[in-house]
Each structure stands twice: as C-alpha cells, then as structure tokens.
Amino acid sequence: MYIFNADLHIHSPHSIAVSKKLNLDTMIKTCKKKGLNILGTGDILQPEWLKYMETHLDKDKNGAFLYKGVNFVLQTEIEDVESVHEVVLFPDFDSVREIQKKLKPHSKNILDEWGGRPRVNLSPAECVDIITDSGGIIGPAHAFTPFKAIFRQNKFKTLKECYQDAVKKVSFVELGLSANTDLADKMDCLKNVSFLSNSDAHSESPRSLGREFNKFEMENPSLDEIILALERKDGRKISLNVGLHPKLGKYYNMFCNKCRRRIIFKKAKKKSSSGLNQYSLTAEFVVNYADEPEKAKKNYINQVSKNKMVCPACKEEFGKNFKIKLGVSERIDVISDHEKPNHPAHRPPYINAIPLVDIIRSVKRIKSATSKTVLNEYEKIIKELGSEFAILTEISIDKVEDFDANIAKIVKALRNDKIQYTPGGGGTYGEIKFDL
C-alpha cells in the first residue's frame, strides 16, 4: 500500500470569487510545497474548464489522471434543489460528459462561463441516482455550514432525511473547515460513513489549497482505489484527516445574519441583581455576560434554533430585528445524539492544523497573508526543511527550532493541541491566540 495526501474539493476561475491565477501549473506548485499527491480538478462540469483539463491531463495505466507529477481526480461541486451542496468525483471524462448531459435539462447555468458550481433543480436523491448511475460518487459538502449545507439550521437532521432511499449510495460526508471528527461524531447517523476533509480552495495560495486534506492508504491514485478506501475495503482506507482547527473556520460560532457579529458568552464580573442579561458590543462581537455562561449559552442556542433570537447590536443601530444564526458548533449541539464524540472504531485520527503561512504571520506579527516577508519566510522554511505537512506533523521539533525557535513553539503547541483560538463565525476566520 502507498500513502497519498489528497485534497478532493477545490474550484476553478469559473466559480465566483476565485483567483484568476488558479491553473494546473500554479496548483501543482502549491501541491509540491504542501506535500499533496492528489488534487481535485474543481468545476469539471464547466465546459471550458473541462476542455482545459482534457487537453492537459494524462491518464496512466491504472486510470489515474496526472499532470507533471501530481495526480488529479475529476471533481465538481453542485447545488441541488434543497440548496444543499455536494462534492462529486468522476472516474473519467466520458462519465463527466454523460452526467453533464443528464443534468443539463435541470440546470440553467451548467454550461455558463460562471457555472463552475452549477445549480441543479433536482432533489438530493435524484442527484445521487444520476451521478452514481454514470459511475460517479457523491456526498454532501461542508455538511454543517449555516448556508447551503445539508445540516444547516432549519434543514435536515440526518442523512436519511435528506437522501431518502438513495442514502445507501452516498459515499462520504465532507466535514468543512469549521468541523472536525470530534464534532461530527456526536451524530449517530454518521457513524458508518467515511469523512473527507477538503480545502474547498478558491485560490492556489498555500494558505488555501490543501489547508485540509486526507491521507489515503491505497495501491494507486485512481478513483477506483479512492472508492475502496472510502468503503474501507481490501485494506484500503483513509488513515488520517487533517484540517483547520474548527475554531479557525469561518462558521464555527453563531452570528448575526446582518452585521455578522459573533455571539459569545463570558462570566459576569459582578452578580447581576436584576437577573437581566448584560452585554457589550464590539465591532466584531456581541459579548453576553452571565453568572453561568455555559448555561446561559445553552438557553440562548435553544432560542436561536427556534428563530427567536435577534441581534441587540442591529436593534440599537437600525432599530430593526435581525435574526441570530447558529454556527457549526451550536448546530451540531442542537441536532447531535451524544454530548461527547462517539468515534466508531474505523474513524481515523484528525489533526487540527493551522496553515504554516498563518503560523509565520503570527510569529512575525504581520496581519497581511500576502506580505512579502511572510511569503519569503514560507519559501525558505519549505526549502530547508521539506513540505508544509512534514513540518507541521512529522519533522522533529529540534529541526524546526534550528530554523526558528518561535515557529517551533507554535508547531509544538499545535501537535499537542495546546493552542487557544478566537473562534471564527459569520464569514470571518478565527485566529490563534498564542503568547510567544
């Protein structure tokens, strides 16, 4: 068996807000720095991107696609009539064309310049049937995010509720940036399904591409082998999921759907005599103070899930009621069966990672992720020590220390899960709180 690091969900310049510089050459450059062996093509149903991939990818004897030493899996994301996003993987270009043809009567934008992630007016079950009948595999994307996801607020609570009889043909669940296996394994309905941790990258930047990936153990990088690994058959498997710490994701914490402030709870300094909730506002947060913050938060979440909680900041500012929405962590709390994660025996470990670019930013105290100083340092450490994944998870801390003692401190804390985070939410990424 061989090890393959795979990121199976990205986009192309034919989706909204994607870097114009994203192409096969920039993709593989980042793959090599990160230590990625297999990458999804992104947006393969889009006609121009399909043609571009068909022209440039070679096929090896196992049926795996290849470009200059990096393997590719034909991949797209679709949106069904329930506004649930799904990741789709295809075995070959014939299957892509066949599915494109079958979906076309149900989609207005599948052949459009900007139809990278097409909207398909079919039920989740109908999508699963069409994809799997033509040799593809499919599973819900970023399953818990507050928008466009299967388990979002007021939407489905189980896989079966969404996919009905087609649920048996769902091959995986993608966790999304704000979830990990500890969160997802609180749900009973997910215990038999394999989890994917993918980047959903909209850019070739090493901060984005491969920020989540899966370590596969299989014979070769073809889709047939990936399917065996997802089914955990013949010794094939996913042996590790690596992804952002959920608190670094954009949708971990509950938020106001209008001003996008995140709602957090802190212990009140003084006991409140009135029993009324006290809060303070910052540009990014509504901070609620309570004698028992955990308990107050639970009640609050309960109200939010009934669509009954409005944003106090917006009320002050606009005199209007705007609803608070649950983040990934609170939504899982509401629909889960277990208070603590209940990992099935087959579940691989999960590493809560931080992109190396962000570690360097935090060490150098630089805000901008595109700063020359940060990117030069990134290039330098990769050149000296090896791929980003090796630096974050494998290389001895002594070696990292020889390069930079502060970077080593954070990498060590990351490996021991000792880092504090300001949780992301409402579209804003979380941040690391680390005193050097």
> Length of the chain, please?
436
Give the residue, chosen from 184, 189, 301, 313, that forms a contact with Zn ion under the rule CB under 5 A: 313
Phi/psi at 435 (5° precision)? -90, 120
Give the residue, chosen from 256, 309, 328, 354, that forms a contact with Zn ion under the rule CB under 5 A: 256
Give the residue, chosen from 9, 11, 85, 325, that forms a contact with Zn ion under the rule CB under 5 A: 85
CB of 75 to Zn ion, least distance (A): 12
Tell me which stretch binds Zn ion (CB under 5 A): 179-187, 223-231, 248-256, 348-356.
248-256
Tell me which stretch binds Zn ion (CB under 5 A): 35-43, 155-163, 258-266, 295-303.
258-266
Tell me which stretch binds Zn ion (CB under 5 A): 136-144, 168-176, 221-229, 346-354.
136-144
CB of 324 to Zn ion, least distance (A): 8
Q: Give the span between the Cα atoms of 94 and 85, in whole angstroms.
A: 23
Q: Is 310 in the site for Zn ion (CB under 5 A)?
A: no
Q: Are 300 and 265 in contact (CB under 8 A)?
A: yes
Nearer to Zn ion, 190 or 256 (CB): 256
Give the residue, chosen from 137, 311, 392, 400, that forms a contact with Zn ion under the rule CB under 5 A: 311
CB of 142 to Zn ion, least distance (A): 6
Q: Cβ-count burial of 339 within 10 angstroms (0-12 exposed, 13-18 middle, 19+ buried)?
A: exposed
Q: Give the span between the Cα atoms of 384 and 403, in whole angstroms.
A: 8
Give the x-and-dash track for 212-231 against Zn ion (CB under 5 A). Answer: --------------------
Tell me which stretch binds Zn ion (CB under 5 A): 262-270, 311-319, 386-394, 410-418.
311-319
Contacting positions for Zn ion (CB under 5 A): 85, 141, 256, 258-259, 311, 313-314
